[in-house]
């Protein structure tokens, strides 16, 4: 199955990686998505919110509250009590505050937020929200490369080190070198392992690809955290994170 990592930006377009770096201008982004859907089997790893309110809320039921601003998965990585609060530089803002979600709506029809949205079976790619890697078909999964980088690298850096790789090329370069020291990641990114990403957008696209490729080929190393009603991120499998998220969701119910 082909894997494509995509970092979408509402003004710049798409930075993509499927073995090589590619930039797709905004005006060509729809045609690019159509070209992906002409493949028989593809997994698109998309760095932008793809789920919104729970299905019951979308259908007009209960649970409005913060359902249209922040998902449980974003809240989990934003609160200190979970043990997985991300540091400054690893942003996990509520999905309604992410400017690229509007582009996701335009290109993928996701996230679905109300009863007037297209049915799932009419969308170009099938959204995955369970931890079962696909084997055939046209699929899309939400990734969060910044959180993935943090989870992969946090134990190998000084606790006081900066994580603001989107503002500092030196931080980005260091994180890339640390990622390339992880054998599985270096293996799936072997075509560019000796090439420092020229931008944080390309770094995110490469990491998005690595997450998808590892999910398919080494499923024990990467897993889809969350679910349709709470939001999902495809992330490295980290000790106690899944249990902590389950406890957090149960306590928020």
What are the tens digits of pLDDT across the range 65-108? 678 889 999 999 999 999 999 999 999 998 988 888 899 999 99
Residue 44 DSSP SS3: strand
* C-beta of residue 99 within 8 angstroms of C-beta of residue 48: no
Q: How confident is the model at residue 62 (pLDDT cuts 50, 70, 90)?
A: low
Question: How much of the chain exceeds pLDDT 90, in percent?
Answer: 82
**Residue 173 to residue 27: CA distance in whole angstroms:** 30
Give me 151's structure tokens: 């989870």
Give phi and psi for 171, each to the nearest 5: -65, -45
How many residues are present in the chain?
253
- What is the reported pLDDT for 248? 94
User: 142: which strand partners?
Assistant: 46
Give me 108's structure tokens: 């993928």
For the cut 70, the answer to whether the pLDDT of residue 57 exceeds it is: no
What are the tens digits of pLDDT across the range 160-201? 999 999 999 999 999 999 999 999 999 999 999 999 999 999
- What is the reported pLDDT for 61? 58
Lookup result for tokens 């957090």: 248
- What is the reported pLDDT for 66? 76
Nearest residue to 176 (alpha-carbon basis) of 217, 205, 142, 219: 205
CA 123 remoteness from chain centre? 19
What are the tens digits of pLDDT across the range 141-165? 999 999 999 999 999 999 899 999 9
Q: b or e along 226-249 (b: 16 or more beta carbons within 10 Å of the residue's beta carbon)? A: bbebbbbbbbbbbeebeebbeebb
For the cut 90, the answer to whether the pLDDT of residue 63 exceeds it is: no
Residue 130 DSSP SS3: coil
For the cut 80, the answer to whether the pLDDT of residue 50 exceeds it is: yes
Q: How confident is the model at residue 59 (pLDDT cuts 50, 70, 90)?
A: low
Question: Can you give the pTM of this predicted structure?
Answer: 0.95
Q: Is the dihedral of CA 74, 77, 78, 80 positive or negative?
A: positive
**Residue 206 to residue 202: CA distance in whole angstroms:** 6
Q: Which run of H or of E encompasses 223?
A: strand 222-227
């Amino acid at each position: 199955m082909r894997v494509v990592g995509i970092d979408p930006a509402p003004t710049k377009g798409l930075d993509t990686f499927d073995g090589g770096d590619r930039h797709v201008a905004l005006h060509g982004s729809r045609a690019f998505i159509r070209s992906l859907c002409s493949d028989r089997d593809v997994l698109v790893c998309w760095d932008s919110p793809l789920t919104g309110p729970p299905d019951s809320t979308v259908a007009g039921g209960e649970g409005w509250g913060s359902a249209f601003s922040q998902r449980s998965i974003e809240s989990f990585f934003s609160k200190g009590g979970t043990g997985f609060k991300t540091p400054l530089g690893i942003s996990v803002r509520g999905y309604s505050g992410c400017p690229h979600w509007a582009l996701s709506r335009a290109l993928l029809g996701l996230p679905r937020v109300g009863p007037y949205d297209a049915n799932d079976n009419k969308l170009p790619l099938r959204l995955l929200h369970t931890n079962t890697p696909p084997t055939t078909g046209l699929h899309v999964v939400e990734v969060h490369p910044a959180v993935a980088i943090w989870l992969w690298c946090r134990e190998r850096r000084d606790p006081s080190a900066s994580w603001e790789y989107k503002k500092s090329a030196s931080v980005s370069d260091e994180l890339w070198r640390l990622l390339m020291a992880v054998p599985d990641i270096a293996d799936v990114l072997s075509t560019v392992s000796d090439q420092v990403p020229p931008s944080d957008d390309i770094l995110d696209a490469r990491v998005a690809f690595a997450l998808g490729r590892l999910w398919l080929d080494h499923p024990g190393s990467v897993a889809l955290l969350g679910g349709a009603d709470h939001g999902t991120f495809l992330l490295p499998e980290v000790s106690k994170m899944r249990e902590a998220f389950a406890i957090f969701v149960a306590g928020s119910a």
